[in-house]
Copies of this chain bind each other. A is one copy, B any other.
């Protein structure tokens, strides 16, 4: 691998001159610049980013920790982050935590060893995951939490307007005449899930409906657990009366949504026929498939992009002090078939 020294040798200039041509921080005469550039081409020289980082103490890299890249939401977030980062000359190091506290610890350590200049974190559930954050901040590495907001900690966050978004989805269901609407949440230790639950409550109240604890189903981010929990709640209920089965179901995230749909199938129920359904997050981007799911969709790309902008701002400021930044981005309600607002035709591809 060619070095700056070889380039200097071939171009007949000093190492410093090559460096100046590369960085542009010091003017170099056209004659020498051309010779240097020619040497760079001839040698297929690529500046050693490692040595540069060591010298300048800038890795030009930021890390992003997501639960699982294969969940469609996160690649969009990562891509948003990557675009914002690239615009400032930064690269992205993306790693999975598997929503596992121990693994999150590992990857955060890895990122710190790699000397990333900032970290974007979709925090794993559990207090242990949150406990890892302060040390990082203390060490001077800016960290922005995105998508999920950890409780009990002062930290920059970027996510969707959970309360309003959930209320929007639930209001859609109440406006369709539903009076018994169940909500299927993830762990309520996460502020977002709480906020979404609050949005649900607000929407019910606004519609003059009571909030029943028996219709609030708290679950986890484990698909199998969600499925069986949902199934359990749906079966063994009468069709009417005080303990009647809900006529609509709202899921607060993509995982519980998928679990809910699987649960419905396991209980031999269809949507929207047997129960109206709406959810946070898109399950499949394509409107080609049926039943199309009424969703409150998050601006995934924008979340990643905005979080990165904030992070870069903190990096530039070289300080984690200053007021905490909390960005809430608006979601969008996409009304489709599963909520029963549109009637669905025969199976197969149809024109909506």
Contacts and interface: CB of A to CB of B under 8 A. Distances in A.
Total copies of the chain: 2
Nearest to A110: B91
A54 interface: yes
Given A51-B54, A75-B70, A349 B113 contact: no
Contact of A290 (B110, B113, B348): B348
A238 B127 CA distance: 65
A310 to B, nearest CB: 22
Contacts of A75: 69-70, 75
How would you classify the secondary structure of chain A's contact residues: helix, strand, loop or mixed? loop
Given A113-B48, A348-B272, A93 B96 contact: no
A16 interface: no
A286 B283 contact: yes
A272 B349 CA distance: 9
Contacts of A262: 288
B349 A264 contact: yes
Contact of A271 (B53, B70, B110, B349): B349
Contact of A288 (B49, B70, B82, B261): B261
Contact of A349 (B46, B70, B76, B261): B261
A50 interface: yes
A97 to B, nearest CB: 12
Nearest to A93: B93
Interface string A268-288: 111111000000000110101
Chain A, interface size category, equals: 35 or more
Interface string A242-274: 000000000000000010011011001111110
Nearest to A349: B270
A283 to B, nearest CB: 7
Given A82-B96, A94-B94, A347 B48 contact: no
A10 B289 CA distance: 62
Contacts of A349: 261, 264-265, 269-271, 291
B291 A291 contact: no
Given A91-B95, A347-B348, 8 more contacts: A46-B109, A48-B54, A50-B114, A79-B96, A91-B114, A94-B94, A271-B349, A283-B286
